[in-house]
Amino acid sequence: MNKKQITLTDVTGIRVGHVTDQANRTGCTAILCPEGAAAGMELRGMAPGSRETNLFDPLTRTEEIHGILLTGGSAFGLAAASGAARWLAENGYGLVTTCGRVPLVPAAVIYDLFFNQSFGLPDETMGYKAASLASTDPVEQGCVGAGTGATAGKMAGIDRAMKTGLGSAGYKAGGIKVAALAVANPVGDVVDPETNEILAGVRGPDGKAISGTMNAIWAGKGLLAPPASNTVLGVVATESKLTKVQAARAARMAACGFARAVRPASTLSDGDMVFVLATGKGPSADENVIGALGAEALAQAIAAAARTASGIPGVPAYQDLRKT
């Protein structure tokens, strides 16, 4: 079976829009489910940056959300979610309240301030534009949207890191669709989950070969203490009908995809988190199935984020260093 035959937008009810700022090497990605989707979340990293994630608590009242905003800019970038929410409200989407519709758009950030020195981007205007551009077209991948400034292999410092970006992959299993989108910005390496090839990681002192974080750890070599400036973000979507609790369970399983494609994963310096969206446009499914397929799709999406990235001066990508 072709594991990459679909992207996140093949899931009915999901739209994706990017805004990319190449000058500042940052951007944001709006994943919209305007008609609402049951949602769950799993946090695996220990340095998260997020907004409205309490909505995913099974004890809270809200059963559905209307979008997720993934963004660069570290904590400053959380402002972009307000723009996505404003676009949804202006177009008639959101939670019905006595005073009007209020869209629920949780957000999560990566740290890309190595390149983005403005500290003012992404902002509300950028989030609004990303939402306005959201469509059902196949997801554009590489150094776009929230993945514009993403890197991997920073355990030895940014000078020996590699460029990554944003990727998407998914499955069709019988009548069930499960797909994922990932922004790969780990302190560790991105690896192919099937072959274990390092796709983006710590480079050797010469900068021309990938030495790998785990290889250095196994060899007992000291590495620079990494700052809390990383994170892998994932969104898994399905057309299947899930409750909020089932979506949370599926998210816990899907988070295993981090460990399959990132080594080491979910460190003290990463804020890894995955969201699960269930649009209910398809048949009901066991959350075990959604979680299992979600983990596979997430791992493949993380790998795609490295394979499709383009290098920049001083920070090469897989396409620049791969064996020919």
Q: What is the reported pLDDT for 323?
A: 59
Contacts of 103 (CB under 8 A, 6+ apart): 66, 67, 84, 85, 88, 89, 93, 94, 95
Q: What is the reported pLDDT for 14?
A: 98
Instruction: State mean pLDDT over 218-240.
Output: 86
Confidence of residue 116 (pLDDT cuts 50, 70, 90): confident
Q: What is the reported pLDDT for 208?
A: 84
Q: What is the reported pLDDT for 222?
A: 67
Confidence of residue 225 (pLDDT cuts 50, 70, 90): low
CATH fold for the domain made of 8-317: L-amino peptidase D-ALA esterase/amidase (3.60.70)
| CA gap 252, 22 in Å, rounded | 34
Residue 9 has pLDDT above 70, yes or no: yes
| CA gap 166, 253 in Å, rounded | 21
What b/e sequence results for 214-242 when a residue is b if at least 16 CB atoms lie within 10 Å of its CB, and e otherwise?
A: bbbeeeeeeeeebebbbbbbbbbbbbbeb
Q: Higher model confidence: residue 156 or residue 231?
A: 231
Residue 1 has pLDDT above 60, yes or no: no
Instruction: Quickly tell me which residue has 């951007």 as its tokens.
Output: 27
Instruction: State mean pLDDT over 214-219.
Output: 88
Average pLDDT, the chain: 94
Query: Nearest to residue 126, comparing CAs of 146, 96, 151, 100?
Result: 146
Q: Which region among 38-52, 213-227, 231-245, 258-272 has the lowest average model confidence (pLDDT)?
A: 213-227
Instruction: State mean pLDDT over 311-317.
Output: 96
Instruction: State mean pLDDT over 60-68.
Output: 96
Where along the chain do its domains lie? 8-317
Instruction: Quickly tell me which residue has 């890309």 as its tokens.
Output: 112
| CA gap 241, 224 in Å, rounded | 46
The pLDDT tens digits of the residues spanning 133-155 come to 999 999 999 999 999 999 999 98
The residues pairing with 2 across neighbouring beta strands, listed in sequence order, are none
The pLDDT tens digits of the residues spanning 189-207 come to 999 999 999 999 999 988 8
Record the pTM.
0.96
Instruction: State mean pLDDT over 177-183.
Output: 98
